[in-house]
Amino acid sequence: MVKAANSRGSAPGTPPRTRILVVGGGYVGMYTALRLQRKLRAGEAEVTVVSAEPYMTYQPFLPEAAAGSISPRHVVVPLRRVLDKCRIVIGEAQRIDHAKRTATVATLATEDEGTGAMEIEYDELVLAPGSVSRTLPVPGLAEYAIGFKTVEEAIGLRNHVIEQMDIASSTRDPALRDAALTFVFVGGGYAGVEALGELEDMARYAARYYHNIKPEDTKWVLVEASDHILPEVGPELGVYTIRELRRRGIDVRLETRLESCENRVAVLSDGARFPTRTVVWTAGVKPHPIVAASDLPRTERGRLACTAFLTVAGVEHAWSAGDAAAVPDITAKEDGRECAPNAQHAVRQAKVLADNLVASLRGEVLTEYAHRYVGSVASLGLHKGVALLYGRKLKAYPAWLMHRAYHLSRVPTFNRKMRVLAEWTLSGLFKREIVSLGSLEHPRAEFELAAGHSLKFPPPPPAPTPPKTSQG
């Protein structure tokens, strides 16, 4: 175990600087650190951000990145550029001992160093690791499915869908063709519906460039365990969304579960079987494992028990917000309600959390987090969407336009806003890109082939032995 150099860096005779550790580089982590570096006085505190990735992913843009409307690099925000006054540590937090005020972090250099993970000491902790996909013990799920929470998954899925169309176009096996053109999405929330809507739209467009694939040859299946989809936009727009998806030929199955996807066959609880090479799992999330690997109090669902001040309940010098935190919703009429784990709350909670942390350092009064949910927007493909804002329902093109306007206003940094706006403008003027860059996932494959470490083609058959001639 190596202790990280974490000097307080104070001049002799002056109080030591407070060491603030932010675990997580997502919405809450990045926005909290950004506000802290703006509000803290010079020499008042030092902020260290631990993140598994060197960027923050703006997840509402993942479906558009998968469809090719936005470049992947514009869906992410580089932490080092935005948080230029913070210390950035790229690594995974493995354990937090708040009683000792230490976090154990495995960095990219840990394995090569051979000296074990590093320990980072802190005075104030902001634990905002977000969430991970909530999987179930479905046979074949770990082997064949893909999630939709990261930019890598979104781009991998885009490449995969186009690759399946290439397979279907070139195969002579009808069964393989049908399996390649069948796409099963599990989960009727935002991630599942938006990803399916955008990718189906992209595949429908791409089909015009294949001589032997028509849009109706593809089969898209949405599987949802409850009796509705998109609960955030209300029952009326949820029903409209189902009707719109079915009008496009998408098979929406409610009150249905995925029971198995072994051997590339999706078996549903209603008895349906779909041979498929694509299963996308978006059936919920759960708190990041680091929450359970800490000595902080948790709720029955595994989230951090928090107060309306965004402090961890019953613990001093610990703060949390976002997906991993159970924050009471003081604007709700019912007692015991918690804020929904979504981006709308996370961004606003980060602002209050940072302000309260600074106020705590200065001995000032803390503020409770109170935000009444204003509504939701969802894209269902190009020029298609649903929106519920301040009780007003929007459908089709107006909802899609509202979706873009809202998220353009929310994506961090002016740089990203302008780049996304420019890409939208160009995509409206020119044709979609339908290129699969799946080889990016294995960049050394071509070099290994050239070096003779792998064979792409079988060896040629041996030359025939010439017949022996008889000698008289």
Provide the sign of the torsion angle of the four alpha carbons 199, 200, 205, 207, taken in this order.
positive
Do the domains at 18-133+286-362 and 135-283 have one common CATH topology? yes
Fold of domain 18-133+286-362: FAD/NAD(P)-binding domain (3.50.50)
Handedness of CA 292, 296, 299, 305 (dihedral sign): negative
In this prediction, residue 5 carries a pLDDT of 45
Q: How far is CA 327 from CA 230, 242, 290, 293, 337, in A?
A: 22, 32, 18, 20, 9
- pLDDT of residue 472 exceeding 50, the answer is no
Count of all residues that appear for the chain in the document: 472
Read off the pLDDT of residues 90-138 as tens digits, 9 standing for 90 and up: 999 999 999 999 999 999 888 888 888 899 999 999 999 988 888 888 9
- Joined together, the tokens standing for residue 83 give 């948080």
Average pLDDT of the chain to the nearest whole number: 87
265-275 mean pLDDT = 94
Residue-wise pLDDT tens digits, 171-191: 999 999 999 999 999 998 888
Is pLDDT at 421 greater than 70 in this prediction? yes
What are the two backbone dihedrals, phi and then psi, of residue 440, each rounded to the nearest 5 degrees?
Answer: -60, -25
Query: Does the pLDDT of residue 471 top 70, yes or no?
Result: no
pLDDT tops 60 at residue 6: no
Total Cβ atoms within 10 A of residue 463: 6
* pLDDT score at 103: 94
- The DSSP secondary structure of 182-196, one letter per residue, reads EEEEE--SHHHHHHH
Q: Read off φ and ψ for residue 68, nearest 5 degrees.
A: 90, 10
Torsion of CA 103, 108, 114, 117, to 10 degrees: 0
What is the tens place of the pLDDT at every residue in 444-469?
666 666 776 555 556 666 666 666 65
Give me the mean pLDDT over the 226-251 stretch. Answer: 90
Any idea where the domains of the chain sit in the sequence?
A: 18-133+286-362, 135-283, 374-430
- The architecture of the domain spanning 135-283 is 3-Layer(bba) Sandwich (3.50)
Q: Over 90: is that where the pLDDT of 17 sits?
A: no
Query: For the chain, what percent of residues have pLDDT higher than 90?
Result: 52
Range 439-444 contact pairs with CB under 8 angstroms and sequence separation of 24 or more = 440/159, 441/156, 441/159
Highest mean pLDDT among 63-77, 89-103, 408-422: 89-103
